[in-house]
A and B are shown apart, each in its own frame.
Chain A
């Protein structure tokens, strides 16, 4: 068994866990201006207040894990996407403190609500653009980034950035369908339909752009025999996307959220297929970038012991706060 492959999957899992879990937190931040000040905003924020911190921790595992398991990839990707990473971090600062500050200072609640939205939007956009900057390729010389200052800013990265913003908003809205009721749930449904449609359109656009971007990517998806292996991904994506829109419309409770996660899972699988086996497309394979076996084994022991525990107590924390937010009949 190849440890490097296992580690690639662990990092991918951490990134996926981050994207869907903090995705709905950030999505709620992005949608915040659409909610009425007062009860609707309070309930939306309270639905994630007990879990956002744990959700965000997956980002640290993604970054820290990349540093530990693929140090060279970490050392190349971060300088290449420097302004995006800094913007994301600063966005997360505003988003994170807004959770506390907006309750501390009623006089400035409107300001912190804006900071919550601004921070969430900037973080989501920067994350999506970072993904795009990675997919479009990074110039590497020796063991370092060798590109220019603005390589990360292209129409393609803007597209992946907007796609991520839309996708997070979809997750946020479908989370709220689950956690809210009454008029507020109906409002969340409206938003979920709108952002769901946007997400599907942007996912399609990114997929087509990928094929146009790079001959290897195109070969991966369009030529035989690979096409037979990878064809289920777009087909399943289409099925999931339609069922999700249907679930949103048909008054389902938690189903839109789960199908939204499935949509993200398929989208990320598609991206995985696209760049495999590269950590940095066309420049560094996962084996080029991997840490030595001794480091991989040491960490794998830790992951094998702690990850099930983490998933266990995280699930417990969600279970504790299950049900509609402050619904009178909720025990």
Chain B
């Protein structure tokens, strides 16, 4: 029994580790693919080379991030079978088709057009190339659609029945499964989070180069674009998050109780606990700083509305309160910090000093990785908050694992940790190195062949496509000399 528990815990750590690592890359590439499409579209529309330069600057970074996303994503598609075979067998008939749709409508689309996006501009012409960029961006979104539908179904399962052999079977309507109750909220909240993550990375890179040279037109353009995102999308995201929370209250009340730290029920108005240390043993939040009745106001829009607490939930159905309580606060805290940056930038814009406010730039650099932290914290909140269930209310995590021995899971976990930290750590280092270089006129695309003095390739433009980039072109590599 103890052995089983160990294997289970290790399998959970392994899934949490691989999925968390993986999540960073799509969170970035969903937003970045759209940003690249916007940049290329603006270039085609206005003909301004600054957009093309920025497109190529970020394309190099996208290529690395996307590669890391792909290889860490393939791991995920097999983790279900290797570590969660009972879950796979039982839930396969319902969620398997949604994941198959993700492969068919999203993964192929991204991967099929990625090659043209990275290397094909001189081969297919501007418009077809833009179409390829749009397809990659669309693919990243469609991928989010399906995988979040799957995740949401596991959180709020609908439209299924359980067959005699224990398998979950699809009911009459697939829309009831796909558009399960938490899906629309989760989709909007997560995709906006991905956009914000990218916006803050772009903003940080822009700010970094503004701090070095506030006249750099490329840095100005990307910083301004990112700050518009911060100012407009952050409030929308906070609103969406609130809606998502209300939806969770309806379908997974125990998760909200853990988020709020409500161990006890409050029949006439629950307090909003800002900070404190949840103590699951004593069933109380120690040293709590709270605003009376405010939680009822947020969750029920009524100061005196009663709110049930974890005392109404059997102990063996409670999620780990401390983790959920803290990860939720990290997410919300970052969200408001993002809002602060957005408002600060608006103020700077109104005063016409957006590019001169070095303290704003410093803050933006500091906030560069904040989106990743917020995404991870939000993910932990929702995933740990639905424990002890893997399919909420119907299949416990403990009953879903593969019949594996602890040493096997431990060994593979160790291998994943070593490989991921080294390989992805190095990849992030390469990305940071690229970001450290100032974007400039005549920016090159993805290089393929640097054995000679200056060999550029990929989407290196010909003279008509980029009047500023006129360096000698390569003698080999999948690149072409002639513009189309």
Name A residues whose Cβ lies closer than 8 Å to a Cβ of B. 38-39, 42-43, 46-47, 49-51, 53-54, 56-57, 59-61, 63-65, 67-69, 71-72, 74-79, 82-83, 85-86, 89-90, 92-94, 96-97, 99-101, 103-106, 143-146, 149, 291-292, 294-295, 298-299, 302-303, 306-307, 310, 313-314, 317, 320-321, 325-326, 331
Beyond A46-B457, A68-B96, A143-B86, 12 extra complex contacts between A and B, CB < 8 Å = A53-B110, A57-B107, A72-B92, A94-B419, A144-B85, A144-B86, A145-B85, A291-B93, A291-B96, A292-B170, A303-B104, A326-B477
Tell me whether B115 and A68 are in contact (CB under 8 A): no
Q: List 10 A-B contacts (CB under 8 A).
A: A53-B110, A61-B108, A67-B92, A75-B81, A79-B402, A79-B403, A92-B71, A96-B71, A100-B430, A294-B169
Q: How far is the CB of A81 from chain B (nearest CB, A)?
A: 9
Pick from B117-125, B264-272, B325-333, B343-351 the stretch touching chain A. Answer: B117-125
Chain B hits for A71, CB < 8 A: 88-93, 96, 167
Tell me whether B99 and A57 are in contact (CB under 8 A): no
Tell me whether A65 and B103 are in contact (CB under 8 A): yes
B71-92 vs A, CB cutoff 8 Å, 1 = contact: the mask equals: 1111101101110011011111
Chain B hits for A101, CB < 8 A: 64, 426-427, 430
Q: How far is the CB of A320 from chain B (nearest CB, A)?
A: 5
- Cα A39 to Cα B449 with chains together (Å): 8
Chain A hits for B68, CB < 8 A: 97
- Cα A326 to Cα B473 with chains together (Å): 12
B285-314 vs A, CB cutoff 8 Å, 1 = contact: the mask equals: 000000000000000000000000000000
Chain A hits for B120, CB < 8 A: 50, 320-321
Chain A hits for B451, CB < 8 A: 38-39, 42
- Cα A46 to Cα B476 with chains together (Å): 9
Tell me whether B108 and A314 are in contact (CB under 8 A): yes
Which parts of B364-416 form the interface with A (CB within 8 Å)?
402-405, 408, 412, 415-416
Total A-B Cβ pairs within 8 A: 269
Tell me whether A75 and B85 are in contact (CB under 8 A): yes
Tell me whether B77 and A53 are in contact (CB under 8 A): no
Choose among B124, B165, B402 the residue with the greatest number of A CB atoms under 10 Å from its CB. Answer: B402
Cβ of B63 < 8 Å from any Cβ of A? yes
Closest 7 CB pairs of A and B: A71-B92, A50-B115, A68-B96, A78-B81, A75-B89, A96-B71, A75-B85
Tell me whether B447 and A83 are in contact (CB under 8 A): no
Chain A hits for B71, CB < 8 A: 92-93, 96-97
Tell me whether A320 and B104 are in contact (CB under 8 A): no
Cβ of B439 < 8 Å from any Cβ of A? no
Closest A residue by C-beta to B415: A90
Chain B hits for A75, CB < 8 A: 81, 85-86, 88-89, 92, 402
- Cα A303 to Cα B103 with chains together (Å): 10
Closest B residue by C-beta to A51: B115
Interface of B is mostly: helix
Closest A residue by C-beta to B458: A49
Choose among B90, B408, B478 the residue with the greatest number of A CB atoms under 10 Å from its CB. Answer: B478
Q: Indicate whether A50 sits within 8 Å of B118 (C-beta atoms), given known contacts A89-B74, A105-B430.
A: yes
- Cα A313 to Cα B132 with chains together (Å): 10
Q: How far is the CB of A284 from chain B (nearest CB, A)?
A: 11
Closest A residue by C-beta to B120: A320
Closest B residue by C-beta to A78: B81
Q: How far is the CB of B351 from chain A (nearest CB, A)?
A: 40
Choose among A75, A146, A306, A307 the residue with the greatest number of B CB atoms under 10 Å from its CB. Answer: A75
Chain A hits for B420, CB < 8 A: 93
- Cα A135 to Cα B165 with chains together (Å): 26
B217-228 vs A, CB cutoff 8 Å, 1 = contact: the mask equals: 000000000000
Chain A hits for B250, CB < 8 A: none
Tell me whether B93 and A79 are in contact (CB under 8 A): no
Tell me whether A42 and B112 are in contact (CB under 8 A): no
| A68 interface neighbour in B64, B100, B402, B419, Cβ under 8 Å | B100
Tell me whether A54 and B478 are in contact (CB under 8 A): no
- Cα A56 to Cα B70 with chains together (Å): 9
Cβ of B480 < 8 Å from any Cβ of A? yes
Tell me whether B97 and A50 are in contact (CB under 8 A): no
Tell me whether A78 and B82 are in contact (CB under 8 A): yes
Closest A residue by C-beta to B67: A100
Tell me whether B415 and A68 are in contact (CB under 8 A): no
B165-181 vs A, CB cutoff 8 Å, 1 = contact: the mask equals: 11101100010000000
| A85 interface neighbour in B78, B89, B93, B482, Cβ under 8 Å | B78
Closest A residue by C-beta to B84: A75
Tell me whether A295 and B96 are in contact (CB under 8 A): yes
- Cα A124 to Cα B93 with chains together (Å): 30
Tell me whether A77 and B112 are in contact (CB under 8 A): no
Q: How far is the CB of B97 from chain A (nearest CB, A)?
A: 5
Q: Indicate whether A49 sits within 8 Å of B478 (C-beta atoms), given known contacts A294-B169, A307-B104, A317-B113.
A: yes
Cβ of B213 < 8 Å from any Cβ of A? no
Tell me whether A46 and B81 are in contact (CB under 8 A): no
- Cα A68 to Cα B94 with chains together (Å): 8
Choose among A47, A54, A65 the residue with the greatest number of B CB atoms under 10 Å from its CB. Answer: A54
Cβ of B185 < 8 Å from any Cβ of A? no
Closest B residue by C-beta to A296: B97
| A299 interface neighbour in B66, B75, B100, Cβ under 8 Å | B100
Tell me whether A90 and B419 are in contact (CB under 8 A): yes
Tell me whether A39 and B476 are in contact (CB under 8 A): yes
- Cα A24 to Cα B92 with chains together (Å): 31
B421-434 vs A, CB cutoff 8 Å, 1 = contact: the mask equals: 00100110010011
Cβ of B116 < 8 Å from any Cβ of A? yes
Q: Indicate whether A79 sits within 8 Å of B482 (C-beta atoms), given known contacts A64-B100, A93-B71, A317-B115.
A: no
Chain A hits for B113, CB < 8 A: 313, 317
Tell me whether A42 and B477 are in contact (CB under 8 A): yes
Tell me whether B105 and A93 are in contact (CB under 8 A): no
- Cα A306 to Cα B97 with chains together (Å): 14
- Cα A306 to Cα B88 with chains together (Å): 24
